[in-house]
Amino acid sequence: MPRPRKCRRVENLPGTTYFKPAGIPMRMLEDVHLTIDEVEALRLKEIEDLDQETGAEKMGISRPTFQRILASARKKVANAVLNGKAIRIEGGIFAMENSTYRCFNGHEWNVPFEEMTIMPPELCPTCDTPQIEPVLAAGHGRRRRGWQQNR
């Protein structure tokens, strides 16, 4: 039985979650699915120009795991670019560095990554109401944390 996957630490969510080739109708396109953690690995390696050891530390994973995530992301992007496919970015096993939550009474608080990997909050720390929700990142329509692999 394989080990359960570790939750990967993600600093930022991408502002755009779908790319498609110009001039091809959406109904005629195949999708390539990139997870949030694959995009984060690409960002750390290619944009931030970090070495694999530092990138792995930032994501809270081992260097070999970082390498596997990066290789998977590069293969998917190459497939999409060379074969004229769309790229959909969503899902994966990840948590934000600090996830912000809000209760229905208006209180907001940050939950550090280390606590998120154990269990997401169930009660507001100020008023103990169980009616809480994650605060969405600006310009992004998905939840701030992803505990399950989306399809």
For residue 17, being part of any structural domain is answered with yes
Q: Which of the four pLDDT bands, split at 50, 70 and 90, describes residue 134?
A: confident
| Contact in structure between 102 and 135 (CB atoms under 8 Å) | yes
Secondary structure in 3-state letters for 2-70 = CCCCCCEEECCCCCCCEECCCCCCHHHCCEEEECHHHHHHHHHHHHCCCCHHHHHHHHCCCHHHHHHHH
Decide if pLDDT at 4 tops 70: yes
For residue 13, being part of any structural domain is answered with yes
Domain holding 25: CATH number? Answer: 1.10.10
Report yes or no on whether pTM surpasses 0.75. no
pLDDT digits (tens, 9 = 90+) for 29-63: 999 999 999 999 999 999 999 999 999 999 989 99
- How far, rounded to the nearest angstrom, does the alpha carbon of residue 54 sit from its chain's CA centroid? 18
User: What's the pLDDT at 87?
Assistant: 96
pLDDT digits (tens, 9 = 90+) for 59-118: 989 999 999 999 999 999 999 999 999 999 998 888 776 677 888 998 988 887 667 656
For residue 68, being part of any structural domain is answered with yes
For residue 72, being part of any structural domain is answered with yes
DSSP 142: S
User: What's the pLDDT at 118?
Assistant: 66
User: What's the pLDDT at 1?
Assistant: 76
Q: Which of the four pLDDT bands, split at 50, 70 and 90, describes residue 148?
A: very low
For residue 24, being part of any structural domain is answered with yes
For residue 97, being part of any structural domain is answered with no
For residue 67, being part of any structural domain is answered with yes
For residue 137, being part of any structural domain is answered with no
Domain boundaries, position 57: 8-89
DSSP 138: T
CA distances, 148 to each of 32, 84, 92, 99, 105 (Å)? 18, 28, 6, 16, 28
**Which of 7-11, 64-68, 108-112, 137-141: highest mean pLDDT?**
64-68
In angstroms, the CA 40 to CA 58 distance is 10
Number of Cβ within 10 Å of residue 86's Cβ equals 17
Domain count, the chain: 1
Torsion of CA 67, 71, 72, 73, to 10 degrees: 100
